[in-house]
Structure 1
Amino acid sequence: MSRIVDLTSPIDPRDLDFVPESMPDLALVIAPKIDYHTHDAWGLDFMVTSFGCDPDDLPRREGPAGEVLREISTHCGTHVDAPLHSGSLCEGRPARTMSDIGLEELYRPGMVLDVRPWARPGEAIPVEGLREAIKATGRDIEEGDAVLIRTGQERYSLGEPEYLNYPGMSGEGTRFLTGLGATVLGTDAVGWDRPIPAMRKAFQESGDAGHIWDGHYAIQDKEALIVQQLVNLGALPPAGFMVGFFPLKLTGTSAAPARAVAFLRD
């Protein structure tokens, strides 16, 4: 028997109230706007129009409920990034889209790297911290593993400053993990890389373009799938479980919202 742990962030349009006014584009990856169609209004009208019936012909004078999602990104909530998100080429070939990726690639042995001792707000997680976290799991990364980074962001909620000043991954750290064989890379942070203001500051101070979105650009060198906005990583063991990321079956996209689930053996 397996025990299921849900690793998926809830998508709640009420969270849009906490998106900073200075970052309006963030709303698209937090939640869609949702029109709620109720049984006794839209649903009732739909049934009366569709069937030519009287409202009293329907149980409790109700039709179906339904919702319409508006202004939603393929990167909304817990989601999987296809290689296409990181660039048009990956390993010298046209980068794959979500519809190029089979479910078997998204159901993998999982590892949780607890990097909280090395995680600093707005900074890159050092490779040495990744090495030590791997040792703590009791096994090496193997080809095809899903490696989930626990930064400690579960402490914060949208609306708190710390939520958007998260620790992130560098190009060096990303290449380190893919070089060991990881094919799925997950994080409990909003983004895989450091926050944009932190990367922008590093770039402007150094003039080094290597600070720009380097965690994602590293996927161009060695393919991997990136999963962001995970939750409940603290409920998982360091290793010895399977994890599945089940995205919407969208065609030709760079990402898709997904239900992320870990399967633990009793």
Structure 2
Amino acid sequence: MTLIDLTCRLDPNDLALVPQNMPDLAAIIAPSVEYQPHETSGRDLMIASFGCTADDLPGGEGPAGEILHRMSSHCGTHVDAPLHSGRFCEGRPSRSVSDFALEELYRPGLVLDVRAWTEPGGAIPVEALERAVAATGREIRDGDAVLIRTGQERYAIGDPRYFAYPGMSGAGTRYLAGLGATILGTDALGWDRPIPAMRKAFQETGDTGQIWDGHYAVKDKEVLIVQQLENLGALPPAGFMVGFFPMKLMGTTAAPARVVAFVENGVRAGRT
């Protein structure tokens, strides 16, 4: 068995790479970190806690730590619960991220390689999804986790193309959910097209269906959406298990997650 980490890094240094015209993205890229060193904050904590002096501590040090600031529940690789998309899903109150059992978060996986059909800021066509499903060698089954490989691994956060990712439409989301998938993931920053692309399409056409349509589709059919995956090229098209384990934040619309694929030895990865 080989374990493959599909989780992106959370590096506060990446905050400096967020475009100035998109400041709200900072909270989903990484937290800002207040470092508490051994020789200052840690030392002072021990002195206050134990009534000792610095000379009483090994090396004059206390425990180091960090305080995280401005960290969204949608930061980094994260799981979106249906509650993120609306108060109701399939006509019932939407479930939060803490409402899902572990069994629902450990599922058979497929990778849909749609790189040949994507364009920056564009919606991934349903026809591309159909072809990518056929290329896996098996159909989507009830309870599958379907991971969309858009090719965004080519771009670092400092590259403008990282923020001009291809996204999923409402039609594409409903297509995959309708086939039985219960978890949908992407290697892109977001599930939908970038907001500037959706805004432009809405203002040019007046079509309200251009507004966040990939996420709103979850109101019709319950699925979990996972964003900011990486390393999908190391996976086979099918024949593996994947675990999506979010932090146990009670009642929230999302939570950062450690996502790991479990691949049997001898199963070959897909196209690089």
Could you state the TM-score of these two structures normalised by the residue count of structure 2?
0.96
The amino acid that maps onto 1:63 is G
Corresponding residue for 2:270? none
Q: CA deviation at 1:9?
A: 0.7
The amino acid that maps onto 2:52 is C
Cα RMSD for the two superposed structures:
0.7
Q: CA deviation at 1:109?
A: 0.3
Corresponding residue for 1:171? 170
Corresponding residue for 2:233? 234
Corresponding residue for 2:261? 262
The amino acid that maps onto 1:211 is Q
Q: Match of 2:8, SS? A: coil
Corresponding residue for 2:96? 97
Q: Match of 2:167, SS? A: coil
The amino acid that maps onto 1:78 is T
Q: Match of 2:39, SS? A: coil
Corresponding residue for 1:16? 15
Corresponding residue for 1:155? 154
- Equivalent residues in 2 for 1:1-266, closer than 5 Å: 2-266=1-265
The amino acid that maps onto 2:174 is R
Q: Match of 1:158, SS? A: coil
Q: Match of 2:110, SS? A: strand
Q: CA deviation at 1:239?
A: 0.5
Superposed CA offset, 1:125-173 (max 9, x none): 1111101101111100000000000000000011211001101000000
What is the total number of aligned residue pairs between the two structures? 265
Q: CA deviation at 1:54?
A: 2.2
Point out where structure 1 has 5 or more consecutive residues left out of the alignment: none
Name the CA distance, whole Å, in 1 between partners of 2:116 and 2:18: 28
The amino acid that maps onto 1:263 is F
Name the CA distance, whole Å, in 2 between partners of 1:138 and 1:50: 61
Task: Point out 4+ residue stretches in structure 1 off by more than 6 angstroms.
Answer: none
The amino acid that maps onto 2:205 is S
Q: Match of 1:10, SS? A: coil
Name the CA distance, whole Å, in 2 between partners of 1:161 and 1:73: 22
Q: Match of 1:40, SS? A: helix
Q: CA deviation at 1:205?
A: 1.1
Name the CA distance, whole Å, in 1 between partners of 2:135 and 2:58: 59
The amino acid that maps onto 1:19 is V
